[in-house]
C-alpha cells in the first residue's frame, strides 16, 4: 500500500518547485501545474510500472505522454524527484540551452520525455500510436496520457478519440484535467465543452470520474478502477476534476494564473502556504 502522507509531502515540495521555477525566469504556467501536482505524484510514485533507467522505446514498462505541454513545471519537478535527472537541474528551467524548455522537447535528450508537446491537441494521437505499438510487440503494459479540458477544443483530438474506439485500443488510459479554465477565461465562456463524459461515451470510450482530483487517495482509487477496466475492448477516459492553482490560495479558481509568474512577494506567500518537506533545489 502506498504511504499517502509521503505522497502528500512530495506534492507539497512539487508545488514549491513549480513556484520557484516560474518565478525565477518570470515565465511559465503555474496554474495548471499546481492543479495537477497530486496526479503527477500519484502517477510516477505509485500508479505506473517503470523500469530503472530510461530509453525512448519504453519496452516492458508503462508509458506516459503529456499532451498539454505548457504545464511542464510540474512534469519536470516530478521527473526530477522520481530520479530521471538531478533535482538541481530545475534551476535551468526556460534558460537558453537548457534541457528544461517551456514546453517539453526531445532534441536535448531529457530523460522521461518521449515527445515534444508544445502544440495542443496532438498528444492523444501519439498515445494511441504508442498503445498500438505495445499491442504489436506483445507488451502488456499500459499507456497513460494527460490532456487539458480547453485542449479538447482542438479537432484532432476527436479524430483520435473516434479512431481509438474503432480500433479497440483498450490498453490506454487518457486523463483529462477538468479545471474549467483556459488562457482567456473559463472554458464555458471561451468555447463550452458540454458534457465531456457524454462525448467520450458517445465516441465509444469507458469513462471514469474522479470528483476530487486534488486528493491523493481519490486519484489512486480512481486510477485503480480505470486499470481494472483495461483489456475489455474500449479505451478508458478518466475525468480528473481539479482546481487550477491548487495549494496557493490567491491562484485558485481563476484563469489569471494560467501563464503568469508570481512576483517576489507572491512567491513568499505561496511558499509560506506550502512548507518545505524534502529540501529545495
Q: What is the DSSP string of 19-45?
A: HHHHHHHT-S-HHHHHHTHHHHHHIII
Q: Which residues contact 195 (CB under 8 A, 6 or more apart)?
A: none
Indicate the pLDDT class of residue 23, thresholds 50, 70 and 90: very high
- Here the CATH number for the domain that contains residue 145 is 3.40.50.970
The answer to whether residue 277 is domain-embedded is no
Q: Say if CB 184 and CB 260 are below 8 A apart.
A: no
Percent of the chain with pLDDT over 90: 96
In whole angstroms, give the CA distance from residue 33 to residue 198. 26
In whole angstroms, give the CA distance from residue 17 to residue 136. 39
Whether 53 has a pLDDT exceeding 80, the answer reads yes
pLDDT on residue 93: 98
pLDDT on residue 213: 98
pLDDT on residue 2: 79
The answer to whether residue 251 is domain-embedded is yes
- Per DSSP bridges, beta strands 143-148 and 236-241 are unpaired
CB atoms within 10 A of CB 130: 21
The answer to whether residue 279 is domain-embedded is no
Q: What integer best gives the mean pLDDT of the chain?
A: 97
Domain limits for position 139: 4-272
pLDDT on residue 263: 98
The DSSP-derived string for 111-170 is: TT--S---STT-HHHHHHHHHHHHHHTT----EEEEEETGGGGSHHHHHHHHHHHHTT-T
The answer to whether residue 91 is domain-embedded is yes
pLDDT on residue 55: 94
Residues 238-248 have pLDDT tens digits of 999 999 999 99
How many domains are there within the chain? Answer: 1
Whether 118 has a pLDDT exceeding 90, the answer reads no
SS3 state at 86: coil
Whether 171 has a pLDDT exceeding 80, the answer reads yes
Indicate the pLDDT class of residue 14, thresholds 50, 70 and 90: very high
Whether 44 has a pLDDT exceeding 80, the answer reads yes
Whether 214 has a pLDDT exceeding 80, the answer reads yes
Amino acid at each position: 500500500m502506498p504511504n499517502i502522507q509521503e505522497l502528500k509531502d512530495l506534492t507539497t515540495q512539487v508545488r514549491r518547485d513549480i513556484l520557484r521555477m516560474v518565478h525565477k525566469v518570470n515565465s511559465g504556467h503555474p496554474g495548471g501545474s499546481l492543479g495537477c501536482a497530486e496526479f503527477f505524484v500519484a502517477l510516477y510514485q505509485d500508479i505506473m510500472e517503470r523500469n530503472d533507467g530510461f530509453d525512448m522505446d519504453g519496452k516492458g514498462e508503462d508509458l506516459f505522454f503529456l499532451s498539454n505541454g505548457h504545464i511542464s513545471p510540474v512534469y519536470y519537478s516530478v521527473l526530477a524527484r522520481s530520479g530521471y535527472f538531478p533535482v538541481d537541474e530545475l534551476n535551468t528551467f526556460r534558460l537558453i540551452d537548457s534541457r528544461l524548455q517551456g514546453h517539453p522537447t526531445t532534441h536535448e535528450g531529457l530523460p522521461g520525455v518521449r515527445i515534444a508537446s508544445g502544440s495542443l491537441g496532438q498528444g492523444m494521437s501519439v498515445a494511441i500510436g504508442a498503445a498500438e505499438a505495445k499491442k504489436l510487440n506483445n507488451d502488456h503494459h499500459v499507456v497513460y496520457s494527460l490532456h487539458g479540458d480547453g485542449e479538447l477544443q482542438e479537432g484532432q483530438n476527436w479524430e483520435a478519440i473516434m479512431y481509438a474506439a474503432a480500433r479497440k485500443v483498450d490498453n490506454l488510459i487518457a486523463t483529462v484535467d477538468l479545471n474549467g479554465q483556459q488562457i482567456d477565461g473559463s472554458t464555458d465562456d471561451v468555447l463550452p465543452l458540454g458534457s465531456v463524459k457524454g462525448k467520450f461515451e458517445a465516441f465509444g470510450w469507458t469513462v471514469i470520474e474522479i470528483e476530487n482530483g486534488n486528493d491523493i487517495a481519490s486519484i489512486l482509487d480512481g486510477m485503480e478502477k480505470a486499470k481494472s477496466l483495461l483489456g475489455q475492448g474500449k479505451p478508458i477516459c478518466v475525468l480528473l476534476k481539479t482546481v487550477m492553482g491548487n495549494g496557493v490560495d490567491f491562484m485558485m479558481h481563476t484563469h489569471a494564473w494560467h501563464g503568469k509568474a508570481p512576483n517576489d512577494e507572491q512567491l513568499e506567500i505561496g511558499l509560506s502556504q506550502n512548507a518545505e518537506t524534502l529540501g529545495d533545489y
